[in-house]
Chain A
Amino acid sequence: MTTLDTLRDATSVEAIKSDLLRTAYENEGSFLHRLDPRVLLLWYVVFLFVPWLFYDTTVLLGLLAFVSVLAVLSRVSLFLVGLMAFTVATTLGSYAVVTVFTGDPVAAIRALIPYTLKLTIISVSSLAVFSSMGPKTLSQGLRSLGIPRQFTFLITYGYRMLPVLFQEYHDLVNSFRLRSTAPDSPGRFRWRHYAYLLKLSVRAFYPMIFNVAKRSRVTVEAMEARGFSHSLANEASTELRLADMQIRPKDVGFFAGSLFVVAALALFL
């Protein structure tokens, strides 16, 4: 099998699909998953600000290492990590391209590294937090912070629809393939072939949205017939939904520990 084939297998729709689904659902047992969602959300808000307090590249690298460890512990999707790495690399690359015309590209990149690092830290902590929370804990956490149930349900439902959307999309791309002509010669690195697939992937979006919208009618009726709108005004129902959340010593420990790590990084690096 050539390298290209291996790459193609790893980026096949099937592989990406199961990778993303694993990120969305298979987080039980990961370290962050065992924490209370409210604590995690608060931790996340704190870590949205922390990177902006520092300018020193070493401290920022330390922070990045810390959140990366958390990300590894919460088994972040390789696909998402790859996508993020690609974005960071191309952003830096585009700075270089632009600054070639305005002056010294190396100096420009060096100047922008702290800024990019801060954004990367935030991205990695988002990945860590949101991949470790399943749809249920995430919506529980948001609900307890006063976000309306209409919105929190949407999150759970969105997660539920994810595999259905993937499947529908995959099937539609296949329908397009079976009725289209592939380019005669694939070209260097098969670029014509991939450009052709990309074109079909874009065209498959419209029918997918249409099909899903059409079917959601049954979903809405089913929700109604099982008391969804009743639950919006029903306090007993809200209480039940939030009943199994509690803040335990390990939640407090995690939060305090993180702040300790940040303080240690700031002082010693």
Chain B
Amino acid sequence: MMTTTHNSHIDVEQLQFQYPGAEEAVLSGADLTIEPGEFVAIIGGNGSGKTTLCKSFNGIIPHFYEGDMRGQVTVAGHDVSESSVADLSQHVGYVFQEFDNQLVSPTVFEEVAFAPMNYGHEDYRERVHRTLDLLDLSGLEDRFVWELSGGQKHLVALAAAVSLDPDILVVDEPAAQLDPVNARETYDRLAMLNETHGKTVVTIEHQTEFIAEYCDSVVLVEDGIVSWKLPVETALNQLEDLRGQDVHPPQVTRIAERVLDDARPLPVTLADGLDLFTDYGSTTGARTDGSSKVNQTGKPVVSFDDVSHSYETLRSGTKDVLDTLSLDVYPDERVVLAGSNGAGKSTLMQLVTGLETPDEGTVTVGGTDTEDVLPEQLAEEVVYVKQNPEEMFIDDSVRADVGHYLDDRDYPNVEQRVDEVIEFLDLENLQSRDGRLLSVGQQRRASLAIGLATNPSIILLDEPTGSLDLASREEVGRTINRAGERVETVVIATHDLELAASWATRVVVLDDGDIIADGPPSDVFADLPALKQANLHPPQVVRLGTELDLTPAPLTVEAFTDRLNTPSPSTETAKSPVEEQ
């Protein structure tokens, strides 16, 4: 139990805040109390005000954004509007969502020492080593921050906040950009800080599976006010409120909602779900989800033949990304390349575009060896939509970006073709805006439009659902489905296995530079040792099915419900699988 205690409360009373230049207040009278030692999740849709609320805890609001603030926020006895960010930061550590840009020093040691040195703590060396030990990061001291993996960067950002030993930690969307295994590691560390060191932990989160497993209570922020703060089991049973804010209840809760017909509270964790569903028998009837056969006909459109690829780092030597990998992709396939952060998925895609060429082996696209032609020529067949959509925007409006390729190649009726793509992806209202200033969900849609405008036969999507909230993920899911209608072959690199389960015809699992599993989703998801080796975490519904000995394990909530002996309510089954990710 708690070995250290503190008495740092967070009290928010009637907080109102309006950003300068904004037409409406983002917070309009929020009330909230967080007790010392709580582990709280804050949920709410995009623009609900949840980030603004959290930024008031360490004074970034109102000291950094000089908007119009009313009401009172008291943190650890300090009135926020009277104290400086520097004073409050000794009580509140803040980990931002974009972990790359919050790291300000070249090496891990300097990064973690940054705050203690700023406050003149003479024991900064001990603090750094203690913090790194605590978070299991020892040995990384001399590594350069840009050479770390995504998961390590996030933990270093956490270490940099923990090094001041604050009573309260605020973490903005830890699971958004990390693969499930790394996200879980971050949560395990947070749980440890909470349980054994008594820290108050506040996370902004929309993945309810993590909330159910780790948090004590949940705060729902809706239209600028705190609608409720409830214990986690009760909170995740408020299905209507959650859906109203684009937050999906855990899969196990969604299954129970369809199966149970009495007023019992729904289970929220896998363990609760297991207890409940063991009593329900199951049918091993025909599966209603995903195909179980890989449909490979004709000549492969992309072939990797014994491909090896590596790159050099400054202090970590040469890193082998791909190691004698062979893979054929056929027309009309919908392939998911699954693997943890850094498994080589992006490199594989870069090789198809010709921007990178293999150190050894050959990559063939449509019968052409990529080493024999320029990337510009391959771009006529292949389009690569990057993980970071910002890098796709090279002009000053979405419309100009969509038309860039066509203009440059002197295509006839450019305007008409651009209009068509823009209409196809509902970008009419955004077409004159600068792509870099859109929301992440809109950016993804715009970057897909840029890709589709070239009329490719192969489209490569790198982490298309990364750092998106649920509504935006659904939007991207629909967009991918529509894109699939126009393009022969779609390859998606992702660690989002729910997307893989509901969309793919073939899942290829990468680990350590090689393929360790390859087949239809149902087969690959049944291969638990391979998934474990690749640091992947199957969707909750698959784990539940496996634990209950449903073979093959169902991949979606609908399929699971159909397999239980209870008739499912027919109202929701009309939803498409991608929408119910």
Which residues of chain A have a CB within 8 Å of any CB of chain B? Answer: 14, 18, 21-22, 25-26, 135-136, 156-157, 159-160, 163-164, 167-168, 171-172, 174-182, 203-204, 207, 210-211, 214-216, 218-219, 221-231, 234-237, 239-241
Contacts and interface: CB of A to CB of B under 8 A. Distances in A.
Pick the 9 closest A-B CB pairs, nearest first.
Answer: A236-B120, A230-B86, A227-B118, A222-B102, A231-B118, A226-B115, A237-B120, A182-B376, A218-B101
Question: Main SS of chain A's interface residues?
Answer: helix
Contacts of A171: 386, 388, 391
Given A179-B450, A230-B86, A231-B119, 7 more contacts: A176-B394, A177-B374, A177-B379, A178-B383, A227-B86, A231-B118, A234-B120
Contacts of A241: 117
A14 B102 CA distance: 25
Interface of B: 58, 60, 64, 84-86, 89-90, 93-94, 96, 98, 100-106, 110, 114-115, 117-122, 124, 144-146, 160-161, 164, 311-312, 314-315, 353, 355, 374-377, 379, 383-384, 386, 388, 390-394, 404-405, 408-409, 436, 450, 454
Contacts of A239: 120
A179 B117 contact: no
A25 B119 contact: no
Specify which of B84, B90, B102, B450 lies most central, judged by the most chain A CB atoms within 10 Å of its CB: B102
Contacts of B101: 215-216, 218-219, 222
Contact of B89 (A25, A167, A225, A236): A225
B85 A135 contact: no
A215 B86 CA distance: 22
Contacts of A157: 104
Contact of A229 (B86, B146, B436): B86
B64 A221 contact: yes
A136 B100 CA distance: 20
15 contacts: A25-B106, A136-B110, A156-B110, A178-B353, A179-B405, A182-B377, A221-B60, A222-B104, A224-B85, A224-B86, A231-B117, A234-B119, A237-B119, A239-B120, A240-B117
Contact of A179 (B90, B144, B408, B436): B408
A240 B374 contact: no
A163 B115 CA distance: 23
A75 B321 CA distance: 29
B104 A219 contact: yes
Contacts of B311: 14
A26 B394 contact: no
B145 A181 contact: no
A160 B145 CA distance: 9
Given A160-B105, A207-B394, A177 B375 contact: yes
B118 A204 contact: no
B384 to A, nearest CB: 7
A139 to B, nearest CB: 11
B391 A172 contact: yes
A37 to B, nearest CB: 16
A253 to B, nearest CB: 29
Given A164-B100, A164-B146, A180-B408, A211 B106 contact: no
A176 to B, nearest CB: 6
B120 A203 contact: no
A136 B369 CA distance: 46
Contacts of A136: 106, 110
Contacts of A222: 94, 96, 101-104
Given A182-B377, A234-B118, A226 B160 contact: yes
B376 A225 contact: no
A96 to B, nearest CB: 38
B376 A180 contact: yes
B106 A210 contact: no
A179 B454 contact: yes
B314 A21 contact: yes
